[in-house]
């Protein structure tokens, strides 16, 4: 089974998640375009624009934040799937694990030596 066919929760595959991100992006593009088209006739003068443009901006920002969260989630799932397929429990290489252990040992030594001095 490839990375894209890996089930990430319930019956949702990684490829389904990617497809959902794409579909949501396409829906948002359609919605934003429709919203702008509906609001265009309402803008008759500069005062109207100062009221309507911030609404469009807020809508776009919320949409972008939602999409960013989905993309981040896909990245996390991808890294988890890659690490589990390579047998690496936390997505860390053996070298990275060794560095963490050495750093932890050094910190423990510093703390225990510091306790004896005070």
Q: Does 75 share its domain with 102?
A: no
Ranges 10-19, 53-62, 99-108: which has the least confidence = 99-108
Give the model's confidence band at 117: pLDDT under 50 very low, under 70 low, under 90 confident, else very high. Answer: very low
Which residue range(s) make up the domain with 99?
A: 93-118
Q: What is the pLDDT of residue 53?
A: 84
pLDDT in tens, 9-51: 788 887 887 888 888 888 888 888 888 888 888 888 888 888 8
Q: Does 55 share its domain with 105?
A: no
Cα–Cα distances in angstroms (integers) from residue 48 to residues 39, 41, 78, 103, in the given order:
10, 10, 45, 60
Q: Does 61 share its domain with 107?
A: no
Q: Is the dihedral of CA 103, 108, 109, 111 positive or negative?
A: positive
Residue-wise over 48-72: b if at least 16 C-beta within 10 A, else e? eeeebeeeeeeeeeebeeeeeebee
Q: Does 111 share its domain with 82?
A: no
Q: Does 30 share its domain with 65?
A: yes
Q: What is the pLDDT of residue 35?
A: 84
Q: What is the pLDDT of residue 1?
A: 55
Domain count, the chain: 2
Instruction: State the average pLDDT over residues 108-117.
Output: 61
Q: Does 81 share its domain with 106?
A: no
- pLDDT of 115 over the 50 cut: no
């Amino acid at each position: 089974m490839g990375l894209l066919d890996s089930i990430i929760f319930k019956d949702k595959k990684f490829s389904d998640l990617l497809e959902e991100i794409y579909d949501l992006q396409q829906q948002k593009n359609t919605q934003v375009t429709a919203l702008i088209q509906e609001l265009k006739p309402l803008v008759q003068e500069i005062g109207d624009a100062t009221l309507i443009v911030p609404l469009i901006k807020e809508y776009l920002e919320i949409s972008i934040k939602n999409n960013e969260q989905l993309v981040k989630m896909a990245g996390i799932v991808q890294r988890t799937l890659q690490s589990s397929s390579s047998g690496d429990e936390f997505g860390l290489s053996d070298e990275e694990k060794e560095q963490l252990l050495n750093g932890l040992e050094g910190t423990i030594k510093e703390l225990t030596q510091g306790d004896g001095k005070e």
